[in-house]
Each structure stands twice: as C-alpha cells, then as structure tokens.
Chains A and B, each alone.
Chain A
Amino acid sequence: MRIELVKRPERSKLFSALSPFIAFALTVMAGAILFAALGKNPLAALYTYFIDPVTQVWQLHELAIKAAPLILIGVGLAVCYRANVWNIGAEGQFVIGAVTGSILPVMFPAATGWWVLPLMLVMGALGGAAYASIPAFLKTRFNTNEILTSLMLVYVAQLFLDWLVRGWWRDPQAYNFPQSVQFNPSAVLPELDPMAGRANWGFVFALVAAVLVWLMLSRMMKGFEIRVLGSSPRAGRFAGFRYSYMVFFAFLISGALAGLAGISEVSGAIGQLQPSISPGYGFTAIIVAFLGRLNPLGIVAAGLVLALTYLGGEAAQTALGISDKVARVFQGMLLFFVLASDTLIHYRIRFAGIGQKSTEAA
C-alpha cells in the first residue's frame, strides 16, 4: 500500500475560504496538547495565551502595535508571492528602512518641524526599497536565487544595525549602552489616542496600504500583470509583460512597505535605534501573507491573529512561566497547518491498493 496525492478536478470554494479557520483551530488543538504535555491545564493556558491578552482596551492598542508591521510587510509580500517572486528578506528591508529613516533624528537631532516625520517615513521606505533592489538586481542580472540572496541580506542588515548602535551612532550620553539618541518629539510617530493606549499611526498606514494594494491587485491592469506573470510566466511573456521588470517592481513595493514598517516601528513604538528592533516581524509576515491567502484584506485579519501570538507568548512567559519561544512554536504550527490545508484543497489523499479488487486471487 502506498499513499498518493491525487489532484482534485476542482477546488472547493467553501474550503478555500474556510482553510485559514481550520488551520487556526488545528493550531489551538495542537497547542492544547502541547500545554498538557508541559503539565499545564490546557484550557487555562489557552485562555491565558489567546483571550486574556485582548480583554482590555489598552491591550487592543498593544495588539495594533504588533499587527501594524506584520500587515504592512505581509501586504508587500503578497505582491511578491502573487508574482512568483520569493522575497524572504523583509526582515532585512525592515531593519534598513529603520536605519535610513533614522538618519535625520540621529545625525541631525536639532532638526524640528512638521516636515521631519514625513521625510523620515519617505526615507525609510526608500531605504527598504533600495535594499530590496539588491536581490532583484542579482536575480535579473545574474539569475541568482532570490530566496537565498534576500535571506542572507537579512543578516547583513542586522549586523550593520548592531555595528551602528555600538559604534558610530551610539548615544555618548547613554553610559556605553548600545543605543542611539532618543528621537526628538517632532521625529516621533504620534499615538492615535494617547489616553487609551500606545497604538500609533503605523496601524493606519497598514490599513491604507492593505486597501490600496487590494485595489491594485483586483481592479487594475498592474494587478492583472502581477497575477498573470505569477501564475503562468509564459502566458505573461506572450501578453508582452516582462518578468525581469516584475521582479524589480515586486521587490521595490515590498521593500518600501517593509522599510516603512521599520521606520514606523522605530519612530513610534521604540523611539530610538537599538541592536534589535524586531521580534522577527519580517519572517512572521510570511506566515501572515499565506494565512491571509495572499489577499491584502485577508492579511489584515491574519496580521491581527499573528500579533496575538506575540502577546500570548509574553503572557505565557509571565503568567505560566513558559519560555516566550512558545510564540514561535505557535507561529510555526499555524504556517504548517495553513500549508497542509491548502495542499488538501488542491489534492486528495488516496491509499493505493485498498478497495481494489484483487484479481490475482480469482
């Protein structure tokens, strides 16, 4: 007997829509088993992990802070993945965006005025886009694999930031702590409702980006080009679209959005540069993009779900005494179940050799 995957003649629309929910349910179930194995009461642990972190208004603000970069990056990655361009390096583009956006407040701390913040955001987006153009150039010019180059550039970016805040950009007044100067008030991204919580304008950027990219993908010629080149490259060439141009377009869009997320995070939630500015947003956003079915509106919902796994991880650490790495475990399981559900939408499992009439015996 062998197990085979047999392609289904048609995809079920219902299950295509349900699959993220099924994946989430399976993740929660697997999580319950995990908690039980650790000797915790599964129901209480799940409550601590998934419900307790979002019971008060200020906690919802925290959720928005975590969700904003995930959504911004995830929306950009959706453009890439729809175009069959595999940008795995959003984390690096996020970091470089944060660095280029911080040039102004770190090197010219005396600059004040209404124009400082918009200029920082633009510089952050441009920095992220420029950094993303490296793997795009390498791919189109030398036919390198963009998965490897974009991923490796993540580590370059992280170490560059580390070097900056320990060296050149270190705040001389910070008792040798590896961090830059605190941004001055005109370089800080304002909070939406300071009385209620810390959420800043980054979340609004994320929602606006999601709606704009959704419009582009579903209603505009550009989106059509992306979808054709991604699903059938040869048909795309027949249509007169150029894949090499699309590689740049996709990398620049996603790099710019990741860079914007980076500078928003630094000028909003953190307020200065430090060696580590991201708990892996750029990688988690890959899960967000797939959980949202590469649809920008779905990605908004998926971003909120993944943001919850971060908050839950922190809660599990404080309330249950479990390592906050449990957040990574939940993210990994979620991606696993999403991909598994998607596979079963396209294929069904067949046990070859069972139910077949054995004619040899006759």
Chain B
Amino acid sequence: MAKSADKAANLIEVRGLTKVFGTLTACDHVDLSIREGEIHALLGENGAGKSTLVKMLFGSLEPTSGELFWKGKPVRIGSPSVARSLGIGMVFQHFSLFEALTAAENIALSLHDGATLDEIASRSRELSKTYGLPLDPDSLVGDLSVGERQRIEITRCLLQEPDLIILDEPTSVLTPQEADKLFETLERLRSEGKSILYISHRLEEVKRLCDRATVMRHGKVVGHCDPRKETAASLARMMVGTDVVTAESTPIELGGAPELLAICGLSRKPAGPFSMPLKNIWLSVRTGEVLGIAGVAGNGQGEFFEAVSGEALQESADAVRIRGKSVGRVGISARRRMGAAFVPEERLGHGAAPRMKLSENLLLSRHDTDRNAFVALGGFVKSGAIQSATQRIIEAMDVRKSAPDPEAAALSGGNLQKFIIGRELDRQPAVMVVNQPTWGVDAGAAARIRQALISLARAGSAVLVISQDLDELFEISDAIAVMHNGELSKPIPRGEATYEKIGLLMGGAEPGHAAPHHPEVA
C-alpha cells in the first residue's frame, strides 16, 4: 500500500464498496479513505447513501461487493462486534438506550469486560469530564435531554477506546450552543490522534470542523475536497448537483389581520412515562402569516401537534380555537371541517398508510371534509372522483411516481411529502399546521414545499410550521417561537430573530413562555 511521506497513513480505506437493495443501488462503487488524526466529513442529502455506507463500515450491513482495508490490511467486517474489536466506534443518529435504566447501566450493557457497575460509573464520570461531556452516570436515561443522551452514547463509544469514531448527524438533535461544545470535544479527540468520520448535511459546521470531505449523491461519490477552501454554496452545489433555490418570502404587514388559529393556555399531561407535558402554551396565527416553531426534537413538538390537530383532545374547549370557534373538545375531523389542515411529521404510518394507494391516501384526510364529492349514498366510495382529484394533486405538486396510482411506500420521501402537502393545499385550508415539512426531503422538493406554504399564507391562510431546521424557519417564517421542555416562548419577528437568540431559547436559557397577553381572550 502506497504511503506518502508528508501525509498521515490511512486508517481505513474503502475501494469500490457497493450495496444493492433489490433494484436500488444504495452505494455504488464508493471509494473513501480516512487518515489518522483527521476529522473527515461525509456530506450528502438525505437518501444519498451516507447511512448505508457507514453501516457497512460498522458491520451492521454486509456489502454486496468491494474491499475494506484497516490500517493497510484487508478486512471483512461481518458484524458490529468485529468493528468494535478492530477499533471502530459509532454514535448513531437514533440512540439505542434503555430509558428505564441509568446511564451507567446502559453503558455496562455494551461493555463486555466484566467490570462492576461502580467501576463503570467512575470510569465514565472521569472520561466524560476529561472530554468536556459532563454526565451523571446514576441518572435515569428517561429523565435526560437529547443532548445528554448523546453524551452517554459518545462516552460509551469512547470507553471502548476506538481509533475511528463514526458520528451520524450528531448535531441534528442539539442546540447551536450544545453543538459548539461537541465540536470542542471532537477537536480534542483529533489532537489525540483519533480519526473521526463526521456525517452531516450542515455545511457551516463541516467547513468549521473538518479537514477533508467526501461528497455523495445518489449513492455515488461525486467529489473529495477540503471543506475549508470551499464556500457553503459550492459545497451545496456538489451535494445537490444544481444550484440550490431558496423560497422567496416578502415581508408582510399583519397590522389588524384577523386571527385564524389561537392556542390559549394549552396544557397537557404526559401521555406516557417518557413523553413531554405541555405547559400553558399561548399562540396566535393570523391570516397571511407563517409562524415557525423551532426547538430541539423531543421537547413537546409531537405532543403539541397532536393537541392542535385534535388527535388528542383538550380538557377545555377554549384551549384551541380555529377561526374563532372553540374546538378543544372535538376531534380531528371536526377541526378539519372548520377549515384546518394538518401534516404530521411521520409520512409513512401517520400522514399516509404505507401499503395503500395514493388515491386511498387522499381519502384518508379528506373523507369527511369532502364527503359529498367522494362518498355516495349508502357509504359507497366514488372511485372516479377520487382518481381525478388524485391526478389533480399529482400534477399540481409535480409528484414523480413509477405507476399511475402506486402505494404510498413506493414513492420517495420527497415525492410522498409533496403529495401529502398537496392533498391539504388542494382544499385551500384557512389554517395549515405542518410538523417538519421537509424532513428527509431532497432540496428541490423542499424548496417547492416551502414556496407553497408561503403562497398559501399570502393568499389569506394562517400557516403554523413546526421544524427542527432553523435555516428553513428563517427562510419562510414571519415570526419564530421556540419550544423547549413543553413550553413555548414568545414569537420573535423575523427581523429581530438571530440564530444566537433562537439557539439560546432552544437550550432553555430563557424558559419564560409567552404571557397570556392576548386581549381577545375571555
């Protein structure tokens, strides 16, 4: 193996790695090398094949073909335990922790050296202090924030003393300030000679942190570069393949615009042992307005969406008002009849039934509001009317599909999301509530969805967008409120909002929720 004298040796090298799932080639002859003591970025949009690639490096998936070299020697990584014994550690995007156990117990479960719980607790306390990841090993995971849970995962990974640490989208669950702390830890690890494979689609942090970058698109490596010498725009172009379009939003004067959606003192007890209670939330969205709700995942956004949509009822009818009518005690169908439309975070299994056709999924959210159009006397479904409405939505939103009326699960994430958003836009709702409108959606579809939401608002509707993507919220919102620990901050007008301000609120620095300031509340 060739080693250049002026550069550090390759810790791991991958040649022609390919993974085929059925008809889909998730990774297509991928080449990648990571040197000792570098932070190497793996960049790409959702669905570009990043996760598949690292799963093969960590042994959770077996490659269809290709070669792996670890410290110059060919290896076969058949399982995660092989990867660990070689010295590869991984911190997954979705944590694998038991919520009912303590941090130390969770760590003990993945170590196999027979250490007692006390030894593990003291070792992890020491280690976490050294690397600036403060952690109480005796705390229950269920009580910890997402950022703290990630520290457990990282500590667990470091205890195995790996040479290569793989981090999958680590900052997607962190506030900007928490992310800064993580970067310090990672820089420290690099200075100790460890290598890090850093997976992300956030360009600014890659530019700041990483020494080299490999960019993937549609399962192929499209380029290697030094991210510090690139601009965010040039990196984005490599990732997406074309120039990235951003949605256009002109400022709007809301003055005395009527209020269409009002949340007045909404509280909700936790539905399960680990779900977030909602605490006295006040909110008002007016005609013409796009209001954004920022926040780290798991701070009550899902519970809030369920309460607003009517999937969960409130104790008081006045807690939710749509177009002036109190709807807190009625379900989702009645709220839809008031002119509201909802798009949940999960596309498959919540917003759409995966194994049902698009036309049937149209009926899913529209069977009640459009009963006259879609259901005939005696409860028979009018399939002709539904088919033509489905085609209308597919054309309006440019949904790409392989069959005339495919199952929802057969569509790509972006195309299904376009259909789900289009299904609601087709009704021209007065109030639109969307949770994570572009999560896992490719850039082209995301821009189209964002533009559609702005247009809907400007045409006279009230739009409420819950998102973890701050860039998105800054792009489309007229004002941004922050949800933290089940509480909602006062909305900050876009003109006054900065990443810094929002980030502090996301971390819970100013936990004060908006006061019941609304004059119209009886």
Contacts and interface: CB of A to CB of B under 8 A. Distances in A.
The answer to whether A and B belong to the same complex is yes
Interface of A: 8-10, 219-222, 224, 227-228, 231-232, 234-240, 352-353, 356-360, 362
Given A9-B22, A220-B379, A231-B356, A238 B350 contact: yes
Contacts of A232: 349-350, 353-355
Given A240-B331, A359-B76, A228 B23 contact: no
Contact of A356 (B62, B336, B350, B351): B62
A292 to B, nearest CB: 19
Report which residue of A232, A237, A353 has the largest number of chain B beta carbons within 10 angstroms of its beta carbon. A232
B352 A235 contact: yes
A359 B351 contact: no
A221 B381 contact: yes
7 contacts: A9-B22, A220-B381, A228-B356, A231-B353, A235-B349, A235-B350, A360-B76
A358 B365 CA distance: 52
B240 interface: no
Given A219-B381, A359-B75, 6 more contacts: A220-B380, A221-B375, A227-B356, A238-B351, A357-B65, A360-B76
B311 A238 contact: yes
B414 interface: no
B369 to A, nearest CB: 10
A357 B64 CA distance: 10
Nearest to A356: B62
A227 B360 CA distance: 10
A195 to B, nearest CB: 40
Contacts, number: 82
B314 to A, nearest CB: 16
B365 A239 contact: yes
B364 A238 contact: yes
Contacts of B154: none
Interface in B91-122: none
When A and B form their complex, which 9 residue pairs have the shortest distance between CB atoms, in order from nearest? A9-B22, A240-B333, A232-B353, A235-B353, A239-B364, A220-B379, A359-B76, A234-B350, A359-B74
Nearest to A230: B353
B351 A235 contact: yes
Question: Which secondary structure dominates chain B's binding surface?
Answer: mixed
Contacts of B331: 240
Contacts of B198: none
Interface in B337-378: 342, 344, 346, 349-356, 360, 363-365, 367-368, 375, 378
A360 to B, nearest CB: 6
Given A9-B21, A227-B356, A221 B76 contact: no
B457 to A, nearest CB: 23
B379 A221 contact: yes
Nearest to B69: A359
Given A352-B62, A356-B62, A239 B22 contact: no
B442 interface: no
A9 B379 contact: no
A234 B75 contact: no
Given A228-B356, A234-B346, A240 B74 contact: no
Interface in B279-311: 309, 311
A338 B21 CA distance: 27
A177 to B, nearest CB: 49
B360 to A, nearest CB: 7
B24 interface: yes
A249 to B, nearest CB: 13
A240 B368 contact: yes
A59 to B, nearest CB: 40
A38 to B, nearest CB: 44
B67 interface: yes
B197 interface: no
A244 B367 CA distance: 19
Interface string B382-425: 00000000000000000000000000000000000000000000
A238 B367 contact: no
B83 interface: no
Given A10-B22, A232-B353, A224 B367 contact: yes
Contacts of A236: 353
B483 interface: no
A345 to B, nearest CB: 13
Contacts of A237: 311, 332
Contacts of B332: 237-240
Contacts of B356: 227-228, 231
Interface string B40-65: 00000000000000000000001001
B68 interface: yes
A239 B75 CA distance: 51
Interface string B305-326: 0000101000000000000000
Contacts of B349: 232, 234-235
Nearest to A221: B379
A362 B380 CA distance: 66
Given A237-B311, A238-B332, A9 B24 contact: yes
Contact of A228 (B342, B351, B353, B379): B353
A224 B22 contact: no
Report which residue of B342, B344, B367 has the largest number of chain A beta carbons within 10 angstroms of its beta carbon. B367
A235 B378 CA distance: 24
Contacts of A224: 360, 363, 367, 381
Contacts of B365: 238-239
A238 B342 CA distance: 9
A357 to B, nearest CB: 8
A358 B76 contact: yes
A231 B381 CA distance: 19
A220 B367 CA distance: 12
